[in-house]
Amino acid sequence: MPVSLCGTWDMVSNVNFDGLMITLGIGVYTRKIALKLKHRKVIEKVGDVYVIKTLSTFRNYTVSFRVDEEFEEFTKGLDDRHCKSLVTWQGNKLVCAQEGEKKNRGWTHWVEDDKLHLEVYCEDQVCKQVFKRVA
Ligand code: 1AG
């Protein structure tokens, strides 16, 4: 049984977020603001539905899904694209594949050494984020 991802987590590191944003076509002014943000992840499970909130002083993004059930995702306030997304468990990692205009797009979450890890990838870019538990 993998360690639960649920809880409130604050960003401690964010590597290559700019490379990811460039690949997603985000403009230079938005990128400059976005690069300064410390994201907070609030991960909840309500019945069999996961809710992942990414919160910041600039923008918030919420996604909810059932594992193993494809859903339509609109990345509102991020790159504003539509994807067909599917989240699965691969061992102790929660893996999302986001099919759409952008190739090789998705993310992976896991807990290791009491930290929440997130890799967000698109095309040839990988952004690596680490969060510490605050609640
Ligand atoms: C995510 O987390 C969302 C977290 O997928 C952000 C990661 C990538 C964002 C992609 C592009 C950035 C586009 C615009 C930048 C503008 C604002 C940045 C605001 C960041 C806070 C919302 C994966 C998973 C569930 O946790 O979504």
User: Ligand 1: distance of its center to the CA of 76 in Å?
Assistant: 9
* % of residues, the chain, pLDDT over 90: 97
What is the interface pTM, i.e. ipTM, of the complex? 0.95
Question: What is the Cα–Cα distance from 54 to 56, expressed in whole angstroms?
Answer: 7
Beta carbons of 75 and 89 less than 8 angstroms apart: no
Residue 1 confidence class, pLDDT cut points 50, 70, 90: low
- The ligand 1 atom at the shortest distance from the C-alpha of residue 60 is 22
Question: What is the Cα–Cα distance from 44 to 7, expressed in whole angstroms?
Answer: 7
CATH class, range 7-133? mainly beta
Nearest CA to ligand 1 atom 12: 78
Nearest CA to ligand 1 atom 4: 54
**Tens digit of each residue's pLDDT (9 = 90 or more) over 85-106:** 999 999 999 999 999 999 999 9
**Tens digit of each residue's pLDDT (9 = 90 or more) over 5-37:** 999 999 999 999 999 999 999 999 999 999 999
User: Ligand 1: distance of its center to the CA of 5 in Å?
Assistant: 18
